[in-house]
């Protein structure tokens, strides 16, 4: 049945966290994000002999640190040139795992000195990746190679990552006591603070009553589960559970 106005799903009865496993944090293998590739449509005069590029196609950063990216102008120093740049989300998200960074750098006539850009990285970025891309060249230059790079964030030496399996019992009634007949799935909300569970996993199956979340960095994690019906109405949260990695 569909929900009537003012009717809401009943609360999930319980949610249990168990089977936490600590493992060493290894490197993350990633492929370049196609969104981070420089646009091939931007071009300058075919006579331009200066090339603007990153000094590496891959960088490694540490959580709670600043990544330093170097942009080079090579070849001719004649004329002025500039390039725009931006960060691009991968498994790491701007605003949570790193500071979204964009802008431009410029060279005057005769200048070939490398330019640097700083990207702050947060503690939550360990084991994740994002990209840094050059997106527009102007003046007496064109794109060199590489024009984009993958940034892998490694956990500090001696740190750990872990996994947690959540299980829960689904609601069977609406809050008015009528039978719940259009349950569509569940949302898991989690984070490092009970008041700010900013990460979400959506499960589009009513038969899944457990879920493994891995690559959790060291610290205390909090979890809640919500039921979702076919109309998109969300239940109240389950009880909050927590575990320490």
pLDDT, tens only, 123-139: 889 889 999 999 999 99
Q: Taking residues 211-224, what's their average pLDDT?
A: 88
Please give the mean pLDDT across all residues of the chain.
81
The pLDDT of residue 160: 60
Task: Output the pLDDT for position 218.
Answer: 78
Please tell me the least confidently modeled range out of 8-22, 23-37, 226-240. 23-37
203 burial (CB, 10 Å; 0-12 / 13-18 / 19+) is: middle
Q: Which residue has the higher pLDDT, 45 or 159?
A: 159
Binned at pLDDT 50, 70 and 90, residue 190 comes out as very high
Domains annotated for the chain, with CATH where assigned, are 14-25+159-244 (2.60.40.10), 34-153 (2.60.40.2030)
Alpha carbon distance 41, 61 (integer Å): 31
Measured distance CA(245)–CA(95) in Å, rounded = 23
Residue of 12 and 136 predicted with greater confidence: 136
pLDDT tens digits for range 82-131: 999 999 999 999 999 999 999 999 999 999 999 999 999 998 898 899 99
| pLDDT over 60 (residue 9) | no
Round to whole Å and give the CA distance between 185 and 198: 19
Is residue 44 within 8 A of residue 139, CB to CB? The reply is yes
């Amino acid at each position: 049945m569909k929900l009537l106005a003012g009717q809401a799903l009943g609360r999930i009865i319980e949610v249990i966290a168990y089977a936490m496993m600590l493992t060493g944090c290894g490197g993350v293998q990633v492929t370049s994000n196609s969104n981070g590739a420089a646009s091939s449509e931007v071009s300058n005069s075919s006579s331009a002999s200066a090339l603007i590029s990153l000094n590496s196609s891959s960088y490694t950063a540490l959580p709670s640190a600043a990544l330093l990216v170097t942009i080079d102008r090579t070849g001719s120093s004649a004329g002025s040139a500039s390039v725009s740049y931006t960060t691009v989300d991968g498994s790491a998200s701007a605003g949570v795992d790193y500071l979204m960074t964009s802008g431009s750098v410029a060279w005057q006539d005769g200048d070939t000195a490398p330019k640097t850009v700083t990207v702050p990285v947060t503690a939550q970025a360990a084991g994740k990746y994002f990209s840094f891309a050059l997106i527009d060249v102007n003046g007496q230059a064109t794109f060199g190679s590489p024009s984009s790079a993958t940034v892998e964030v490694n956990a500090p030496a001696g740190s750990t990552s872990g996994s947690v399996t959540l299980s829960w019992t689904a609601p069977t009634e609406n809050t008015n006591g009528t039978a719940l007949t259009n349950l569509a799935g569940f949302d898991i909300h989690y984070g490092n603070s009970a008041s700010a569970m900013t990460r979400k996993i959506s499960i589009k199956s009513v038969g899944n009553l457990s879920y493994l979340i891995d690559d959790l960095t060291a610290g205390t994690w909090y979890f809640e589960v919500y039921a979702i019906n076919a109309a998109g109405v969300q239940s109240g949260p389950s009880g909050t559970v927590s575990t320490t990695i």
